[in-house]
């Protein structure tokens, strides 16, 4: 069942979204050569808690950290570690959620570390483009699968592999709510969007194939072929006139 939020509830989600956005802004400055993903996790948690919120991910399903930090061929759910130190040419996906006043917001971006090769930069640009395109069409009356189709078209334009095992989702009182939002599919299918829906749109695209596997830590998802992966995400509310990005 897809839960609709009223304007006051969306404003609460937007307040949580501002915290998430601030974390990602700081991560852009802090994700440099020589820093560990564990340090990034510490910084993020400090920002979230100092704003009066709680990290959405910490303890969720047993996840041990406040952010996911996924390096190079890691797609999503990378566990921050003191042993994982960023180096020149890496890319790192930072996924973060904040829970404030009864509501979650969730967003992600993949960052270049130092000087990154062209193929990696192209992957980041095209995955961000896929997110932007999918978000841009959100309004009442379109089909849910129109969002999925927009991501798939962008991925194919860039010759990128689409991760099919993980998808976007509803978000609000719970971190993961209905509906599921795949990053592929035909347009014109599924429920029609209505004002009050709050959705986490999150393309996960690979420089190689779309197949993935989970490491022995039970969390980190990596590409099967070892290719680089990028992940971008926004929490978006459907409004009467279109949409509002809550994690802008």
Question: What would the CATH number be for the domain defined by 7-245?
Answer: 3.90.230.10
| HEC assignment per residue over 115-128 | CCCHHHHHHHHHHH
Confidence at residue 36, expressed as pLDDT on a 0 to 100 scale: 98
**Per-residue pLDDT of the chain in tens (248 residues, 90 and over written 9):** 999 999 999 999 999 999 999 999 999 999 999 999 999 999 999 999 999 999 999 999 999 999 999 999 999 999 999 999 999 999 999 999 999 999 999 999 999 999 998 899 999 999 999 999 999 999 999 999 999 999 999 999 999 999 999 999 999 999 999 999 999 999 999 999 999 999 999 999 999 999 999 999 999 999 999 999 999 999 999 999 999 999 99
Q: Are the C-beta atoms of residues 238 and 196 closer than 8 Å to each other?
A: yes
204-206 and 198-201 beta bridge pairing: unpaired
Confidence at residue 118, expressed as pLDDT on a 0 to 100 scale: 87
103-112 and 91-100 beta bridge pairing: antiparallel
Q: Are the C-beta atoms of residues 238 and 195 closer than 8 Å to each other?
A: yes
**DSSP 3-state of 95:** strand
Q: Are the C-beta atoms of residues 1 and 178 closer than 8 Å to each other?
A: yes
**Spatial distance between the Cα atoms of 89 and 68, rounded to a whole number of angstroms:** 19
The phi, psi pair for 33, rounded to 5°, reads -55, 135
Whole-model pTM?
Answer: 0.97
Angle among Cα 50, 235, 19 to the nearest 5 degrees reads: 10
Q: Are the C-beta atoms of residues 107 and 83 closer than 8 Å to each other?
A: no
Confidence at residue 192, expressed as pLDDT on a 0 to 100 scale: 98
Count Cβ atoms below 10 Å from residue 207 Cβ, excluding itself: 23
Confidence at residue 164, expressed as pLDDT on a 0 to 100 scale: 98
């Amino acid at each position: 069942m897809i839960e609709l939020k009223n304007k006051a509830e969306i404003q609460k989600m937007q307040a949580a979204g501002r915290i998430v956005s601030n974390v990602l802004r700081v991560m852009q400055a802090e994700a440099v050569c020589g820093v560990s993903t564990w340090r990034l996790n510490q910084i993020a948690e400090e920002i979230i808690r100092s704003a009066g919120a709680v990290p959405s991910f910490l303890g969720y399903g047993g996840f041990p950290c406040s952010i996911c930090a996924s390096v190079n061929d890691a797609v999503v759910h990378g566990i921050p570690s003191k042993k994982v130190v960023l180096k020149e040419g890496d890319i790192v996906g930072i996924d973060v959620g904040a829970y404030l006043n009864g509501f979650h917001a969730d967003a992600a971006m993949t960052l270049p570390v130092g000087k990154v090769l062209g193929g990696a930069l192209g992957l980041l640009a095209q995955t961000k483009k896929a997110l932007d395109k999918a978000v841009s069409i959100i309004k009442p009356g379109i089909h849910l699968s129109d969002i999925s189709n927009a991501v798939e078209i962008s991925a194919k334009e860039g010759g990128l592999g689409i991760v099919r095992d993980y998808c976007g989702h509803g978000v609000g009182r719970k971190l993961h709510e209905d509906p599921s939002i795949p990053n592929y599919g035909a347009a014109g299918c599924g429920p029609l969007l209505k004002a009050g829906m709050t959705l986490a749109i999150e393309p996960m695209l690979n420089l190689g194939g779309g197949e993935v596997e989970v490491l022995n830590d039970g969390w980190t998802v990596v590409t099967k072929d070892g290719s680089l992966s990028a992940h971008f995400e926004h929490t978006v509310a459907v409004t009467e006139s279109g949409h509002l990005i809550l994690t802008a």
